[in-house]
Chain A
Amino acid sequence: MPKLIKNGEIVDNLYTWQQDKESAASESAIVPMSKWLTEQDNIGPVAGIWIDAGEGTEALAEIDLNQFDVIGVNFPAFVDGRGFSYARLLRERLGYKGEIRALGNFIPDQLGYLLRVGFNSFQFNDEVDLEKALALHKSFSIAYQGDVNEPRPMFLRR
């Protein structure tokens, strides 16, 4: 069984990241957001959807997101930081409470920031050593800005 880091632990990956739009969906699939949006009436139950860089979260404004167990955010390259805004918007604006999973080419050294914008699960590429990645699964103990976990900036907490 493939593994991932979720809520600070290495666990089995129970879902399948379905990258193409053509395959049939299943109850364990994380399907492309655009596929789900066009086929939502007949697609049947899925584990969740995933957002690609460039798609944004606007199209989800009217959707009840808490029907999904997981929402994935893809990083086509680890320097493509759009997903940091997407996760934050999912949590802070769209009120999504479930699992937000980082997918794609992000790297363990980004975990500190990813955790602060609302990600709680991390499906690394195969070559990443999850034990070593787990050692980086923390943010600095101090943050000047508010974030998803603590909305109050430091100036309200000093």
Chain B
Amino acid sequence: MYQYDAIDQQLVDERVAQFRDQTRRYLNDELSEQEFLPLRLQNGLYVQRYAPMLRIAIPYGMLSSDQLRTLADISRRYDRAYGHFSTRQNLQLNWPKLEDVPDILAELAKVQMHAVQTSGNCIRNTTTDQYAGVIADEVVDPRPYCELIRQWSTFHPEFAFLPRKFKIAVNATESADRAATQVHDIGLHIKQNDAGEIGFKVIVGGGLGRTPMVGVTINEFLPRTDLLTYLDAIIRVYNQQGRRDNKYKARIKILVKALGIEEFRNRVEAEWVHLRGKESTVPMSEFERLQSFFTEPAYETLDNNPESLSSKLASSAGFARWYERNTFEHKKAGYRIVTLTLKKAGQAPGDATSEQMEKAANLADQFSFGELRVSHEQNLVLSDVRQDQLVDVWEAAKEAGFATPTLGLLTDMICCPGGDFCALANAKSIPIAEQIQNTFDNLDYLYDLGNIDLNISGCMNACGHHHVGNIGILGVDKKGQEFYQVSIGGASGHDASIGKILGPSFAQEEISQVIQKLMDVYVSNRTDEERFIDTYRRVGITPFKEAAYAKAN
């Protein structure tokens, strides 16, 4: 993974010193609440319902075991011994003290981590596929490009006070989009053209929140050397022309929609004419430098399906289940990608205790070259596990609460912290996740239902990505009471779509029954090969709606 040199290190160190001074002046009343707000936000610090919340960046999801141990240690000493992995490859601490934050940032800087631009109206942490670099069918490893974007966006002097937050995600394979790129302000799909050159399909104007939209293509093939000048052009147009009068209409998607993609493209091109070919054009030497950090680890020459694996698959249904759901094909023979799920019943989705973080770090050291990934679905990933060690990893993962074999199934939910923590939330989301986990606890049934994305957000800001869940649940406030609106038909992959609202919202205790009714409609209508989303797309919303609102006899 990327290693800081003296330059990168000096920059994060200076940032820590700057924030320490800003915090001191705020506590001394030299900086007003209003002035401190965007400054602390650009350092990942929110003030939440009960305490500040600190969002730490995990750039494009890469984490070394030492970094994870530091996060475990920080969450134990400065927080309540747990953290929450978010959908955008960040870790959130829910209970730090404001006055401790400079010290926390200083400790993070020692392991090349930071909280720079994890919130605020600026360019946020760039995200990508958690399987980057270890799957066979990607065009190229997207991580060097993510690091290029990370550096370009970090303290960009022109774009620190945009109309609204700005999120970029990168994908490098046709077979899947695990980074939800089409619902980002900019989604980049790495492509190779007929001449063998690497470039990007650029998608702009996607996003969730109050006005969910799937992005549109602004450029079919942007040569990689032009990436930064083109991003500068897009964001310069947005910075000047995006709406600033209404925060709910301030995202780039609203500008793109208002102008139409043709006109928006024309304006970007008119800007780009002046920037293209200038100093920010990326030279080959920089691509090579960045690629040099993402070389392959010392893989052994191994065969697929060793005896120890096949015999365990034959003898243990539990292992076979876990293998089928929670591991994924690796580009190297004899290796497998393992997801450590953070979706254990009784634990909020995406939450990990300090102890679990340490155990995951140890597993990474023992079985996966000391590195981990954080996924958009709020799980951890060991990317390079030998197949003949999978049984050991499974045993250890079970012991640590990482082996719930439900990856991609109904109960592998995306869920925001909701009203239990977040000041913005209209309703709690964690108890909904808990209710669904408790109701749908029969693994055979979950397997039979197959792949279903269920996403829960506690408010319209959509941190739980409810719009792009096959089933989405949104907390709403009705006269001070918490209710839940259910939508179906959303998807976040290459076939991205925004879900449709089923109808009037439901009381908290009704949710599992409603989900059960939706599942019944699916099961009775599906063909053999159809996933939930496929059946929905074929039969439409009506049968689901009728079932959900049918009165009991």
Across the interface, do A158 and B160 meet the contact criterion of CB distance under 8 Å? no
Is A156 on the interface with B (CB-CB < 8 A)? yes
Q: Give the shortest distance, in Å, between B249 (CB) and chain A (any CB).
A: 15
Q: What B residues does A155 contact at CB under 8 A?
A: 151, 282-283, 285-286, 289
Across the interface, do A154 and B151 meet the contact criterion of CB distance under 8 Å? yes
Q: What A residues does B278 contact at CB under 8 A?
A: 151
Across the interface, do B155 and A140 meet the contact criterion of CB distance under 8 Å? yes
Across the interface, do A81 and B35 meet the contact criterion of CB distance under 8 Å? no
Is B31 on the interface with A (CB-CB < 8 A)? yes
Tell me the count of chain A residues lying within 8 A, CB to CB, of chain B. Answer: 35
Across the interface, do B158 and A88 meet the contact criterion of CB distance under 8 Å? yes
Is B236 on the interface with A (CB-CB < 8 A)? yes
Across the interface, do B161 and A81 meet the contact criterion of CB distance under 8 Å? yes
Across the interface, do B161 and A107 meet the contact criterion of CB distance under 8 Å? no
Q: A79-B38, A80-B244, A109-B31 are in contact. Are A85 and B11 (CB under 8 A)?
A: no
Across the interface, do A140 and B15 meet the contact criterion of CB distance under 8 Å? yes
Q: What A residues does B236 contact at CB under 8 A?
A: 85
Q: How far is the CA of A113 from the CA of B10 in the complex (A)?
A: 17
Across the interface, do A84 and B7 meet the contact criterion of CB distance under 8 Å? no
Is B112 on the interface with A (CB-CB < 8 A)? no
Is B220 on the interface with A (CB-CB < 8 A)? no
Q: What B residues does A88 contact at CB under 8 A?
A: 158
- Of the listed residues B5, B228, B280, the one surrounded by the most CB atoms of chain A closer than 10 A to its CB is B280
Q: What B residues does A141 contact at CB under 8 A?
A: 10, 14
Interface size on B, as a range, is 35 or more
- Of the listed residues B11, B121, B159, B240, the one surrounded by the most CB atoms of chain A closer than 10 A to its CB is B240
Q: What A residues does B22 contact at CB under 8 A?
A: 109
- Of the listed residues B10, B157, B240, the one surrounded by the most CB atoms of chain A closer than 10 A to its CB is B157
Across the interface, do A84 and B239 meet the contact criterion of CB distance under 8 Å? yes
Is A142 on the interface with B (CB-CB < 8 A)? yes
Across the interface, do A156 and B279 meet the contact criterion of CB distance under 8 Å? yes
Across the interface, do A113 and B160 meet the contact criterion of CB distance under 8 Å? yes
> Nearest CB to that of A153 among chain B residues?
B280
Q: How far is the CA of A140 from the CA of B156 in the complex (A)?
A: 12
Q: Mark A125-152, 1 if CB is under 8 A from B, else 0.
A: 0000000100000011111111100011
Chain B residues 9-35 with CB under 8 Å of chain A are 10-11, 14-15, 18, 22, 30-31, 35
Across the interface, do A82 and B279 meet the contact criterion of CB distance under 8 Å? no
Contact of B280 among A86, A107, A142, A146 (CB under 8 A): A146
Q: Mark B233-257, 1 if CB is under 8 A from A, else 0.
A: 0001001100010000000000000
Across the interface, do A142 and B159 meet the contact criterion of CB distance under 8 Å? no
Is B538 on the interface with A (CB-CB < 8 A)? no
Interface SS majority for chain A: loop
Q: A78-B35, A81-B161, A81-B162 are in contact. Are A93 and B274 (CB under 8 A)?
A: yes
Is A56 on the interface with B (CB-CB < 8 A)? yes
Q: How far is the CA of A117 from the CA of B159 in the complex (A)?
A: 10
Q: Mark A92-114, 1 if CB is under 8 A from B, else 0.
A: 01000000000000010110110
Is B353 on the interface with A (CB-CB < 8 A)? no
Q: How far is the CA of A93 from the CA of B38 in the complex (A)?
A: 29
Across the interface, do B155 and A81 meet the contact criterion of CB distance under 8 Å? no
Q: What A residues does B31 contact at CB under 8 A?
A: 109
Q: Give the shortest distance, in Å, between B32 (CB) and chain A (any CB).
A: 9
Chain B residues 113-154 with CB under 8 Å of chain A are 121, 151-152, 154
> Nearest CB to that of A148 among chain B residues?
B157
Contact of A142 among B11, B156, B158 (CB under 8 A): B11
Across the interface, do B152 and A144 meet the contact criterion of CB distance under 8 Å? yes
Q: Give the shortest distance, in Å, between A108 (CB) and chain B (any CB).
A: 9
Q: Mark A1-21, 1 if CB is under 8 A from B, else 0.
A: 000000000000000000000
Q: Mark A35-73, 1 if CB is under 8 A from B, else 0.
A: 000000000000000000000100000000000000000
Chain B residues 23-57 with CB under 8 Å of chain A are 30-31, 35, 38-39
Q: How far is the CA of A142 from the CA of B24 in the complex (A)?
A: 23
> Nearest CB to that of B236 among chain A residues?
A85
Q: How far is the CA of A150 from the CA of B237 in the complex (A)?
A: 22
Q: How far is the CA of A112 from the CA of B14 in the complex (A)?
A: 12
Q: What B residues does A158 contact at CB under 8 A?
A: 5, 7, 289
Q: What A residues does B161 contact at CB under 8 A?
A: 78-81, 84, 110
Q: Give the shortest distance, in Å, between A120 (CB) and chain B (any CB).
A: 14
Q: How far is the CA of A152 from the CA of B228 in the complex (A)?
A: 13
Q: A141-B14, A158-B7 are in contact. Are A81 and B159 (CB under 8 A)?
A: yes
Across the interface, do A85 and B158 meet the contact criterion of CB distance under 8 Å? yes
> Nearest CB to that of B38 among chain A residues?
A79
Across the interface, do A152 and B279 meet the contact criterion of CB distance under 8 Å? yes
Across the interface, do B157 and A116 meet the contact criterion of CB distance under 8 Å? yes
Chain B residues 353-405 with CB under 8 Å of chain A are none
Across the interface, do B162 and A146 meet the contact criterion of CB distance under 8 Å? no
Q: What A residues does B155 contact at CB under 8 A?
A: 113, 140, 143-145
Q: What A residues does B282 contact at CB under 8 A?
A: 155
Q: Interface of B with A (CB < 8 Å)?
A: 5, 7, 10-11, 14-15, 18, 22, 30-31, 35, 38-39, 121, 151-152, 154-162, 228, 236, 239-240, 244, 274, 278-280, 282-283, 285-286, 289
Contacts A152-B279, A153-B152 aside, 5 further interface pairs with beta carbons under 8 A come to: A81-B239, A84-B239, A86-B240, A139-B157, A142-B10
Q: What are 5 inter-chain pairs, A to B, with CB distance below 8 A? A: A81-B161, A81-B239, A110-B160, A155-B151, A158-B5
